[in-house]
Amino acid sequence: MIGILDYGLGNIKAFANIYKSLNMDYKFISKVEDFDNVTKIILPGVGSFDYAMNRLNNSGLREKLDETVLNKKIPILGICVGLQMLAKTSEEGQEKGLCWIDANVKKFKDDILPLPHMGWNNIEIKKQNELLNNLDNNSEFYFLHSYYFETDESNVLAKAEYINQFDCIINYENIYGIQCHPEKSHHFGIQLLKNFGEL
């Protein structure tokens, strides 16, 4: 059962529609008891880092989420700002992240290319993983962000390039994250979400 975290951020219906089309069981998690029987978790996120962290911390779900991910080792996929929330800090704000991964979020710095980085971009796979089954370096994903995730190379599954090369798909133990929007990335994104559901 795939649990889609509903804390007031992200297009949760888009993920539900994809999993429905794949005939994979899902439910929304908006209260603590909704974690029951969940075997995977989607952590969506849009907007600013501090706003997203405050919404999650004030949702009543944070303690149960920590327990489920860190103690029960249920796989979780952070998406866009949901990925950035996995880190310790972000240059975008003052709030502390989830601190599940030794990582920080940094702002792209450039005077020529516009921000945010918006549009389609190829990924460069650095490490094979079940999350990337049937995907390759020709796979294109839709990005919309001005900040990027930076972690140890051992945690990096794929990178992309805009201004500089940056970590765009990561994995540490049962924790996964992706900077782009798989729910907007057509068949490539559907494949990735299917792979996550099948982990």
Cα atoms found within 13 Å of the Cα of residue 149, Cβ hemisphere only: 36
pLDDT of residue 10: 82
DSSP-derived secondary structure letter, 99: -
List per-residue pLDDT tens for the chain, 199 residues long: 999 999 998 889 999 999 999 999 999 999 999 999 999 999 999 889 999 999 999 999 999 999 999 999 999 999 999 999 999 999 999 999 999 999 999 999 977 888 999 999 999 999 999 999 999 998 999 999 999 999 999 999 999 999 999 999 999 999 999 999 999 999 999 999 999 999 9
Q: Helices 186-197 and 12-21 meet at what angle, rounded to 10?
A: 80
Domain ranges of the chain: 2-197
Please name which of 80, 92, 51 lies closest in space to residue 142, comparing C-alpha atoms. 80
Peptide bond into 44 cis (omega under 30): no
pLDDT of residue 111: 77
Peptide bond into 114 cis (omega under 30): no
The 10 Å Cβ neighbour count of residue 49 is 22
- Residues in a beta bridge with 39: none
Cα atoms found within 13 Å of the Cα of residue 157, Cβ hemisphere only: 20
pLDDT of residue 9: 86
pLDDT of residue 112: 81
CA distance 100 to 115: 27
The fold for domain 2-197 equals: Rossmann fold (3.40.50)
CA distance 80 to 147: 10
Inter-residue contact 199 to 131 (CB < 8 Å)? yes
Give catalytic residue positions: 80, 181, 183
CA distance 39 to 199: 10
